[in-house]
Structure 1
């Protein structure tokens, strides 16, 4: 993995068609649970919008911590695990003073002036974002920071956003962290994840539409074949909506009951009709209620 890559700390588990098929699901109680899950996600998102001042502008998709370059073989496994666990330390004092302002620039020319956080604050966010146990890892030592710009996906397409870039002791890899202040970036806190906190549904990965249309096309990983073939699945979708966002639920229509199938996935799409045009609203996946990348075609 080379160049500028974004860390994925939580992997969504796609429900692939076929294994233990039960006909045309989800339905009944299962679909009601997904609708409630979607309403809960909208509540979390609405709160995130309020926390950011009530207006939607910069809504990043994915992790705010990035990595430039590849870990060297000699220390790569330790460094990778240390970063995932948030085991980073400052070898020297990082500046705590905030710069005045920066600018987010979208590929379509749209811009937004944003307040920035200091290198010290962004570094603390890298550590706080860590998860998992890596008590035996050697911590990563940050030796310096500089302001740069990184490309990040948002709910309005790719954008160049201000970020702090950190050099590390003993490696050529550098870390980045988006420098936009929380007051100007809508960041959603997902629900707890794990076997004891199940979140059903098939998570969409991206969406395509226009701000003036009530129809969205969504992309996800599903069964390779259509429902007319053994182990195949057809897909439809419905939306649960709020003033700030749309959660898309993908519904499976499987070929038959009781088929034993492989777990190979393939890119699939479905369309969903909204109650009103999308406007400036975000599109969320149903498993954790996180924003997905949106391509605005007009």
Structure 2
């Protein structure tokens, strides 16, 4: 019975990660996932889709101007989550991007560490990159410094980036470097 319970708890934890925690906090065997409202993949994807809709509409009405899509410009009460991205590098094919940001010193396997995952939400005119933090679950039990370190996360695009803009979840443009094709 104990092995059966352990297996079901593991399966529940995996399902929570896969389904991106749709509720305020997801409960597993009396505990919570630790993700607050606004921090799940589904909520961030929706924020990104909303941002892309505004971006694409602005591009359609005034294509010569760079849209000012910052969430605070649209709604001063809006709260956005996710990390600020400093830069991105796109491979020669334009389908694989690595973004750089400031994060924790180590991985989630270390005390005070965090793992990061990135995902694109795409339209024909732009790509919003979402970076989600997955901190060490025991980080609250020790003293952690707020020292930031350069970190990266890699994501795949459904189609080549081309001339599309790359945006953060708050609408800021991400500077992109393209790797040249080698012959």
TM-score (norm 2): 0.69
Match 2:93 to one of 208, 212, 222: 212
Shift of 1:49: 1.6
Q: Which has the higher contact order (CA 8 A, sep 6+)?
A: 1
Once the two structures are superposed, residues 236-266 of structure 1 have per-residue CA deviations (whole angstroms, 9 ceiling, x without a partner) of 2111110111111112232224344222211
Looking at secondary structure, tell me which structure has more strand per residue: 1
> 4+ runs of 1 displaced by more than 4 Å?
none
CA distance in 2, matches of 1:217, 1:211: 12
Looking at secondary structure, tell me which structure has more helix per residue: 2
Name the counterpart of 2:105.
Answer: 224
Name the counterpart of 1:277.
Answer: 160
User: Is 2:70 aligned against 1:190?
Assistant: yes
Question: Against the structure 1 CA distance between its residues 195 and 213, is the aligned structure 2 distance closer, same or farther, given a 3 Å change threshold?
Answer: closer
CA distance in 1, matches of 2:46, 2:70: 15
Question: Against the structure 1 CA distance between its residues 246 and 31, is the aligned structure 2 distance closer, same or farther, given a 3 Å change threshold?
Answer: same
Shift of 1:195: 8.1
Matched-pair contact (CA < 8 Å) for 2:85–2:99: yes
Name the counterpart of 2:174.
Answer: 292
**Any unmatched runs of 5+ in structure 1?**
1-23, 54-183
Matched-pair contact (CA < 8 Å) for 2:87–2:99: yes
Name the counterpart of 1:37.
Answer: 47
Alignment of 1:16-55 (within 5 A): 27-29=20-22, 30-53=40-63
Q: How many residues align?
A: 145
Shift of 1:211: 6.2
Question: Against the structure 1 CA distance between its residues 44 and 262, is the aligned structure 2 distance closer, same or farther, given a 3 Å change threshold?
Answer: same
Shift of 1:35: 0.6
Structure number with greater Rg is 1
CA distance in 2, matches of 1:211, 1:50: 28
Secondary structure of 2:43's counterpart equals: helix
What's the Cα RMSD here?
2.6
